[in-house]
Amino acid sequence: MTKLQEVLDEIALEAASATDRGAVAHYIPELAKVDPAHFGIAVALPDGQVLTAGNAETPFSIQSVSKVFTLSLALGKLGDSLWARVGREPSGNPFNSIVQLEQEKGRPRNPFINAGAIVIADLILSGHQPREAIGEIVRFIRYLADDDTILIDERVARSETAHGDRNASLAHFMRAFGSIDNPVDHVLGVYFHQCAIAMSCHQLARAGLYLASRGCNPLTGMQVVPVERARRINAIMLMCGHYDGSGEFAFRVGLPGKSGVGGGILAIAPGVASIGVWSPGLDTVGNSKLGTAALEQLTRRMEWSVFGA
Amino acid sequence: MTKLQEVLDEIALEAASATDRGAVAHYIPELAKVDPAHFGIAVALPDGQVLTAGNAETPFSIQSVSKVFTLSLALGKLGDSLWARVGREPSGNPFNSIVQLEQEKGRPRNPFINAGAIVIADLILSGHQPREAIGEIVRFIRYLADDDTILIDERVARSETAHGDRNASLAHFMRAFGSIDNPVDHVLGVYFHQCAIAMSCHQLARAGLYLASRGCNPLTGMQVVPVERARRINAIMLMCGHYDGSGEFAFRVGLPGKSGVGGGILAIAPGVASIGVWSPGLDTVGNSKLGTAALEQLTRRMEWSVFGA
Amino acid sequence: MTKLQEVLDEIALEAASATDRGAVAHYIPELAKVDPAHFGIAVALPDGQVLTAGNAETPFSIQSVSKVFTLSLALGKLGDSLWARVGREPSGNPFNSIVQLEQEKGRPRNPFINAGAIVIADLILSGHQPREAIGEIVRFIRYLADDDTILIDERVARSETAHGDRNASLAHFMRAFGSIDNPVDHVLGVYFHQCAIAMSCHQLARAGLYLASRGCNPLTGMQVVPVERARRINAIMLMCGHYDGSGEFAFRVGLPGKSGVGGGILAIAPGVASIGVWSPGLDTVGNSKLGTAALEQLTRRMEWSVFGA
Amino acid sequence: MTKLQEVLDEIALEAASATDRGAVAHYIPELAKVDPAHFGIAVALPDGQVLTAGNAETPFSIQSVSKVFTLSLALGKLGDSLWARVGREPSGNPFNSIVQLEQEKGRPRNPFINAGAIVIADLILSGHQPREAIGEIVRFIRYLADDDTILIDERVARSETAHGDRNASLAHFMRAFGSIDNPVDHVLGVYFHQCAIAMSCHQLARAGLYLASRGCNPLTGMQVVPVERARRINAIMLMCGHYDGSGEFAFRVGLPGKSGVGGGILAIAPGVASIGVWSPGLDTVGNSKLGTAALEQLTRRMEWSVFGA
């Protein structure tokens, strides 16, 4: 533990003085306003202990990190029949690409590209009102983190909606292929709100703990997903969690992880730890620049890579 | 050990009676002649012990499994400067796709698609005669497996050459972009011969042991690659080792692995085992059908998945 | 004239007994209801005379044929600055493809694929209410055909709107790239209504006469477009008027033409005639099967091909 | 005639003083050596008269203009069965693109992209030796131009061969799909030699005269191709003759035409004239910059556009 805390402190110290921090996402105005100087990291251990460094308690927009939680939620509702609607292969393309979707007749490659996450949102909706589905997602994440203070940032949600043409295009495209059942504006309502959930590194690390602990949340003792499913979600995170930078993340960090354009990353060291890291500046493929570097150092120094100590 | 041997025996028994064995590769005549009834598996442990079941001593054409060894060899020669010539992202496309190569100006996505492996062959050649480069590759694999009986199947090599238009197309395409330095027929000479190397499951499992043992070959005590590099090769195997079926393999098996159209797969459980499996029938994306099923069972029963026990 | 009437009568007679009539468009329910037995043809000559055969007075949904008229209208408003917003190359892709649009950053290849026509609708809107823009388009077509009875089929317009996800996807996609200025639902409102305009072969042939007569409408004596522009619109019709069947149409018919999925085609023999033909059954790329065959015969027998008598 | 000569003289005068002449092709060294200051134009009329201006007697490398002649030759041998091997749609892609070829299983879109012309060369070969096929092509072109002095520039042919990786890639790719029957080096031998044929504008205009004269060569009185076929070749020239600049050429010039990267263009005004023009500088899609501008002026002033006087 002492070593881990030392490593985290050193990582945070280094991050504080980093000059090349990447560029804050500018595709929606609310995200563009975030101060790039932030850096936080939190490591939750299977015994419930959480170690942190930096701005680990500051909430940020989790954006696509939410896709891990909605996938878990939807798998709980539909089981493996979910895979008829969305694949589980890396896309080899940017996060919002529509090209592949045309070639593959509206079935998204995996649940972590935008198109796939929109299908998952459609499945969670399944005839309910958007408000109900959004409520269910928030409750599920609060339950995972064992923290009822987690909220949606409504300004971010509105900003997403106002600048959501690319996602609207994906959703209409899939609906034309019959891949979406609910009205597009309902589905996007859910999707934009899940992306606008705000969490701190501390909360994120706790919320992901079930994936590091055979599907069981040690904070509550609840089996969130069966052990087999936890393994599989980790597999999809490793393969697809960083868009067309997934190979690079596996190469450098060596852990299942899911990034968001808000600069957050959730990474899982199976059996060992759940890690939340945040730094708003992004690299060229849209993943947190300092967040990735921090995880690379952490896994190297703690020998946590799944690819060999 | 007793449990592992029991699991292997049950897997081999089940494979013997499987009715849906996939289709033997037909793209070159020599491979099409192989009897689909074969099934073998071998597990090499870091202490040097090897457990086997089925036809584990029968040599087969390793085909693309050779790409793991040539990548290791080329990294040894060039170090990380190799990555200027080939990427390390999943391609999201079939193994011999040329589309992506056009979009990316002749730089292959990763060293395990055909285009990438041809670049690696070009790097190993680097001004030498094809015969010398082929000799070096065979010697390297013999050294890895600690077995001097490993040979090239010349009939397979000739068959590859006679039916090599698709690979010739890739090589000329890359040469047009300046991605290949040596004459195309030299490069393909090396590439076709490395694919025609014949090994048994037993030999394959031993040859891969360095990747399960922090880069060190426990059979010889030699450090084949630095520990960091072993980890990274494992990462690339997991991300890219099964073409556009890599996500499926990670999802089901949960280990770094590399398949060949001869029906062989090398899989690595870091710190635990190196596994060679062979069954000639392939699934629709070109990976061994029973081989994958065997690995899925093995990792589930032994709890070897890198994504959590 | 006698010969032309004879040729038209023979064509209509042959069409009446044709057994392989293609398949009526089914992408919107209203079009799927149309009786495939219909066939009509009308030829308008520069002197104002119109010769017809078959159901030449029955109105049908002109669909994409409307794109010729909206292009003419928008060029009148914007002049050649319009070409900054849309290209004039054949797309080599189906009419509703989105792939090319991604590669080309939201700028459509030409004004006759759906994406291009949606941009033209956006240009015609330019800040007005959809109702006003729709009114302007209808008035322009009435003026071209010198016929105030031309109407929008409101059931078709509603059906388009209810099944418009593919076009909504294209529009949102372009808006994400800044290629569309007005709200997507306004732009699509205009686009769906222009497609729902109903005209007979007789009306269509008259409306197109300006393109056969150096830009001047001989029915009214009005110069609709400058002579240079008439030529250019004809060029775009030849190159792009039949989607990925444009080459086939040029090869077989040899005239500039624009087809719609309602089964109508407007073809122009420059200096000689404007032809409206209609048969609801479509070939595999979405162009009227008997309509194309009729035009092929007409140009062969009358020696009207632009590629040599 | 006087007016035509005047127009040609003015065009040549203007071309002589043009400052932005485009860039000479650099993909093979021999072409890169050509002086960009050259400009020539020749117009052959159905009565056999030829009017010229500028360097109309200087031979240049006709490159892809040869594809018009090999298509005519191959159609004479195979008739319409040729179309089973190659399509006749615009490609919407650059001249040497391989992407579309993968999507369409090795069948080229049209005979004027490189892949299509290589298939045509394969058909002309049909079991003969390359030398014989090359001889047949040269004899055919001499017969068309009624000029036995036309030769292959052997330095260009060698330069093509030495830098032919992109075309070799296309040829091997198609052979992998079974679209090419003969050995790739034989087929490319023919193809590279046909591209290396040297002709002057004067010779080119005469050679193309059959396409302006209902398939009949007025110089010799021979029917080169049936009238229907002449029309169809013109149609393909218009649709596909300038790669992904075909739409632009139709829009600006309004004539069937075929360009080569040597800076030559053959354009046909059906029933009126065959035009050869040459200026080595190319625009961004690889078509002669001043050549296109010259044709644009010529057709505007002579009112030769097929799209209306």
Q: State the Cα–Cα distance between residues B120 and B140, nearest whole angstrom.
A: 15
Is A77 labeled as catalytic in the residue annotation? no
Task: Name the pLDDT band for B96 (thresholds 50, 70, 90).
Answer: low
Report yes or no on C308 lying in a domain: no
Residue B167 has pLDDT above 90, yes or no: yes
Task: Name the pLDDT band for D294 (thresholds 50, 70, 90).
Answer: very high
- Using DSSP's 3-state secondary structure scheme, residue A286 falls into coil
Model confidence pLDDT, tens digit, residues B246-294: 999 999 999 999 999 999 999 999 999 999 999 999 999 999 999 999 9
Are C122 and C222 members of one domain?
A: no
**Given the residues D24, D43, D67, D138, the one annotated as active site:** D67
Q: Within 13 A of B262's CA, how many CA atoms are on the CB side?
A: 30
Model confidence pLDDT, tens digit, residues C33-69: 999 999 999 999 999 999 999 999 999 999 999 999 9
Are D164 and D85 members of one domain?
A: yes
Number of domains in chain C: 2
Instruction: Nearest chain B residue to A214 by CA: give it.
Output: B308
Beta-carbon pairs below 8 A across chains B and D? 51
Residue C104: predicted pLDDT: 83
Residue A96: predicted pLDDT: 66
Interchain proximity B235–A248, CB inside 8 Å: no
Are B264 and B155 members of one domain?
A: no
- Does residue D52 contact residue D202 with C-beta atoms inside 8 Å? yes
Q: In chain D, pLDDT over 90 holds for what percent of residues?
A: 91
Q: State the Cα–Cα distance between residues A261 and A264, nearest whole angstrom.
A: 7
Q: Any idea how long chain C is? A: 309
Report yes or no on A173 lying in a domain: yes
Residue D28: predicted pLDDT: 87
Are B170 and B291 members of one domain?
A: no
Calculate mean pLDDT across residues C101-115. Answer: 90
Calculate mean pLDDT across residues C153-179. Answer: 95
Calculate mean pLDDT across residues C85-99. Answer: 82
A227 interfacial to chain B (CB closer than 8 Å): yes
Residue A91: predicted pLDDT: 83
A184 interfacial to chain C (CB closer than 8 Å): yes
A273-278 and A264-269 beta bridge pairing? antiparallel
Average pLDDT taken over every residue of chain A: 95
CA-based nearest distance A80→chain C, Å? 28
Residue C239: predicted pLDDT: 96
Calculate mean pLDDT across residues A148-160. Answer: 97
* Residue after which a domain boundary falls, among B161, B177, B197: B197
Alpha helices in chain B (DSSP H): 2-17, 29-32, 66-78, 99-103, 114-125, 130-145, 154-162, 165-176, 184-195, 201-207, 209-212, 227-240, 246-252, 289-302
Calculate mean pLDDT across residues C136-147. Answer: 98
Residue B91 has pLDDT above 90, yes or no: no
For A153, D187, D198, the CA distances from D136, given in Å and listed in that order, are 75, 14, 16
Residue C98 has pLDDT above 90, yes or no: no
Angle between helices B66-78 and B184-195 (to 10 degrees): 130
Are B70 and B170 members of one domain?
A: yes
Calculate mean pLDDT across residues D129-143. Answer: 98
Instruction: Nearest chain C residue to A94 by CA: give it.
Output: C102
B166 interfacial to chain D (CB closer than 8 Å): yes
Are D211 and D191 members of one domain?
A: no
Catalytic residue list of B: 64, 67, 191, 243, 261
Residue A95 has pLDDT above 70, yes or no: no
* Residue after which a domain boundary falls, among C197, C221, C244: C197
Model confidence pLDDT, tens digit, residues B36-82: 999 999 999 999 999 999 999 999 999 999 999 999 999 999 999 99
Calculate mean pLDDT across residues D261-279. Answer: 98
Contacts of D33 (CB under 8 A, 6+ apart): none
Residue B187: predicted pLDDT: 98
Report yes or no on C307 lying in a domain: no
Report yes or no on A221 lying in a domain: yes
Task: Name the pLDDT band for D95 (thresholds 50, 70, 90).
Answer: low
Q: Any idea how long chain B is? A: 309
Calculate mean pLDDT across residues A216-233. Answer: 95
Average pLDDT taken over every residue of chain B: 95
C-alpha torsion sign, points A26, A27, A32, A36: negative
Q: What is the CATH number of the domain that holds D23?
A: 3.40.710.10
Are D163 and D178 members of one domain?
A: yes
Are A102 and A14 members of one domain?
A: no
Residues of B in contact with D173 (CB under 8 A): 98, 165-166, 169
Residue B133: predicted pLDDT: 98
Report yes or no on A113 lying in a domain: yes
Residue C79 has pLDDT above 90, yes or no: yes
Q: State the Cα–Cα distance between residues A48 and A206, nearest whole angstrom.
A: 8
Residue D123 has pLDDT above 70, yes or no: yes
Residue C217 has pLDDT above 80, yes or no: yes
Report yes or no on C309 lying in a domain: no
CA-based nearest distance C245→chain D, Å? 7
Residues of A in contact with B308 (CB under 8 A): 211-212, 214, 227, 230-231, 234, 270-271
Residue C96 has pLDDT above 70, yes or no: no
Alpha carbon B74 to its chain's center: 15
Q: What is the ipTM of this complex?
A: 0.95
Strand positions, DSSP E, C218-262: 222-223, 257-259
Is D27 labeled as catalytic in the residue annotation? no
Among candidates B244, B263, B238, which has minimal Cα distance to B113? B244
C83 interfacial to chain D (CB closer than 8 Å): no
Angle between helices C114-125 and C165-176 (to 10 degrees): 70
Residue C95: predicted pLDDT: 62
Domain limits for position A180: 64-197
Q: In chain C, pLDDT over 70 holds for what percent of residues?
A: 99
Residue C94 has pLDDT above 80, yes or no: no
Are A179 and A209 members of one domain?
A: no
Q: Which residues of C94-122 are buried (b: 16+ CB within 10 A; e: fewer)?
A: bbbbbbbbbebebbbbbbbbbbbbbbbbb
Are D115 and D239 members of one domain?
A: no
Residue A113 has pLDDT above 90, yes or no: yes
Report yes or no on C127 lying in a domain: yes
Locus of tokens 């050509």: D34
CA-based nearest distance D281→chain B, Å? 22
Residue C263: predicted pLDDT: 98
Residue B95: predicted pLDDT: 62
Residue C105: predicted pLDDT: 86
Report yes or no on A152 lying in a domain: yes
For B78, B257, C116, D153, the CA distances from C243, given in Å and listed in that order, are 50, 45, 12, 40
Of residues D98, D103, D176, nearest to B173 (C-beta):
D98
Residue D96: predicted pLDDT: 66
Calculate mean pLDDT across residues C170-177. Answer: 95
Are B269 and B235 members of one domain?
A: yes
Residue A127: predicted pLDDT: 84
B98 interfacial to chain D (CB closer than 8 Å): yes
Model confidence pLDDT, tens digit, residues D146-161: 999 999 999 999 999 9
Residue D102 has pLDDT above 90, yes or no: no
Residues of B in contact with D102 (CB under 8 A): 97-99
Of residues C250, C270, C309, nearest to D307 (C-beta):
C270
* Residue after which a domain boundary falls, among C197, C218, C251: C197
Are D56 and D22 members of one domain?
A: yes
